[in-house]
Chain A
Amino acid sequence: MKHSVNRPPTPDAAEDQGKEPTLQEIINIKLIESGEKERLMELLRERLIDCGWKDEMKALCRAHVKKKGRNNVTVDDLVHLITPKGRAYFGHSKVVGNQ
Chain B
Amino acid sequence: MSGPNEDNNTQLSSHIFGDLLDSIIVDVASECHRIAKLGLDRNLEEEEEEMRLSAQARARVADPSNSSETNTKYVVDIFGQTHPSVATEIFECMNCGRSIAAGRFAPHLEKCMGKGRKARLKVTRSSTAAQNRYLRGSPVSTYSPYSNSTSTNRLSNGTPSVAGEEYSNGTYEEPWNKT
Contact = CB atoms under 8 A, between A and B. Distances in A.
A27 interface: yes
Given A41-B20, A65-B32, A82-B25, A70 B37 contact: yes
A95 B33 contact: no
A82 B21 contact: no
Question: Which range holds the interface residue count of chain B?
Answer: 20 to 34
B29 A96 contact: no
B25 A70 contact: no
Nearest to B39: A70
A70 B18 contact: no
Nearest to A58: B32
Given A28-B16, A61-B32, A71 B37 contact: yes
B44 A44 contact: no
A34 to B, nearest CB: 13
User: Chain B interface secondary structure, helix, strand, loop or mixed?
Assistant: helix
Interface string B121-154: 0000000000000000000000000000000000
User: Chain A interface secondary structure, helix, strand, loop or mixed?
Assistant: helix
Given A58-B28, A82-B28, A86-B21, A70 B44 contact: yes
A35 to B, nearest CB: 14
A24 interface: yes
Interface in B18-40: 18-26, 28-33, 36-37, 39
Instruction: Identify the 9 closest CB pairs spanning chains A and B, nearest first.
Output: A97-B18, A61-B32, A78-B29, A96-B14, A65-B36, A79-B29, A75-B33, A70-B36, A86-B25
27 contacts: A28-B19, A41-B23, A41-B24, A44-B17, A44-B24, A54-B28, A57-B28, A58-B28, A58-B32, A61-B29, A61-B33, A61-B36, A62-B36, A62-B43, A65-B41, A70-B37, A78-B29, A78-B30, A78-B33, A82-B25, A86-B21, A86-B28, A87-B18, A95-B14, A96-B14, A97-B21, A97-B22
Interface of A: 23-24, 27-28, 31, 37, 40-41, 44-45, 48, 54, 57-58, 61-62, 65-66, 70-71, 73-75, 78-79, 81-83, 86-87, 94-98
